[in-house]
Structure 1
């Protein structure tokens, strides 16, 4: 995995991590209810869940690539089509006022488990990585260093974005009540997903 590929992957991961979803809503809700420190444990659980799915996708894809060889192209087409579908769903989603209400106090363990379960209960995460990774990584030549770097990039980018949401929510509640802001994030995230899906399908 080249340095430029790492930068491209990090940039795409940043945009995709900012996509509003259950993890973002839970993080924001916790930050509004109990502040940044409590929300950070939710973020920790979310990131760990993503890493679990990421590693499953990496090792699963590598095994499939080695066994199927040229037939792996069909897996890439399915992954690309799935990303385009996700992008379409986001772009066509109607804006709605986020229902962000304070929650009762939870221990750091419960906050962490909440974040972890949010990711692990969504199998679409691993399908996303299955479609997204081949755009940036040659699975047949993936090294241990590449796996460490990919995991580090996902950890830092996803963690930073979610913590930024938590920090902003703890001090600026109005930021997350704007329909126009949600629409702009949907357009950006949807466009990125469709672009990644198209690039995956067209990639030789």
Structure 2
């Protein structure tokens, strides 16, 4: 039986880690704040990113809750659309030319405003809420879900995994992290591994839906 109404829990954990490992606006915000403000600056920015992500997640979950209540068939349709969206994202990652880092360039931040700027970076990411709307329904069992408890479990898991991963980044050291993430070959490899994972993951969920 799905735990707390969450299906494929371990797959969910792996997927969250894969998405966190992809360099993006949040990653570069964290790197910039840590580079300029040390560990304290990094954790201040992390707090802002987490607040922004939680706001977007709960907005997305509110939409999912409305679909569950209105019509389970519509919810299943959204699941299939979500699977197709993940495949599309994966294909785009695989087709990205080598050494192109995407739209996540270095972030300019003002000392003393890491928290506020990190929240804005998170909330103003145009792809974030679409991602959450496509991603979260894939792991909700419409028959076993427990309403707010299931949604809180999903949001809580993402929160805990995000804190653990980002704390590791902060602890490793800004110079090492910057070289690792911004090195063209490593960035290409991460992008292609994530692309293959998303394509296979989306197809699997679509077939099992």
| Length-normalised TM-score, structure 1 | 0.85
The answer to whether the aligner puts 1:68 opposite 2:71 as a matched pair is yes
Structure 2 unaligned segments of length 5 or more: list them. none
The answer to whether the aligner puts 1:124 opposite 2:127 as a matched pair is yes
Question: What is the alpha-carbon root mean square deviation over aligned residues?
Answer: 2.5
The answer to whether the aligner puts 1:188 opposite 2:193 as a matched pair is yes
Structure 1 unaligned segments of length 5 or more: list them. none
The answer to whether the aligner puts 1:146 opposite 2:147 as a matched pair is no
Equivalents in 2 of 1:194, 1:96: separation in Å?
A: 20
How far residue 100 of structure 1 moved from its aligned partner, in angstroms, is 4.9
Q: 1:142 to 1:63 in 2, by over 3 A?
A: same
The answer to whether the aligner puts 1:165 opposite 2:169 as a matched pair is yes
How far residue 117 of structure 1 moved from its aligned partner, in angstroms, is 0.9
Q: 1:77: which partner in 2?
A: 80
How far residue 96 of structure 1 moved from its aligned partner, in angstroms, is 4.2
Q: 1:203: which partner in 2?
A: 208
Q: 1:99 to 1:125 in 2, by over 3 A?
A: closer
Q: 1:121 to 1:104 in 2, by over 3 A?
A: closer
Counting only pairs closer than 5 Å after superposition, residues 1-204 of structure 1 correspond to structure 2 as 1-2=2-3, 5-93=8-96, 94-96=98-100, 100=106, 106-107=111-112, 110-143=113-146, 144-172=148-176, 173-204=178-209
Contact 2:34 2:170 in 1 (8 A): yes
| Length-normalised TM-score, structure 2 | 0.83
Equivalents in 2 of 1:169, 1:191: separation in Å?
A: 29
How far residue 153 of structure 1 moved from its aligned partner, in angstroms, is 0.7
Equivalents in 2 of 1:74, 1:99: separation in Å?
A: 35
- Cα deviation, 1:126-159, whole Å, max 9, x if unaligned, reads 2112221232211454223322221211101122
- Range 135-144 or range 74-83, more displaced: 135-144
Q: Which structure features the higher share of helix residues?
A: 1
- Cα deviation, 1:3-29, whole Å, max 9, x if unaligned, reads 873333122111111111111111112
Q: Secondary structure at the match of 1:35?
A: helix
Equivalents in 1 of 2:94, 2:16: separation in Å?
A: 18
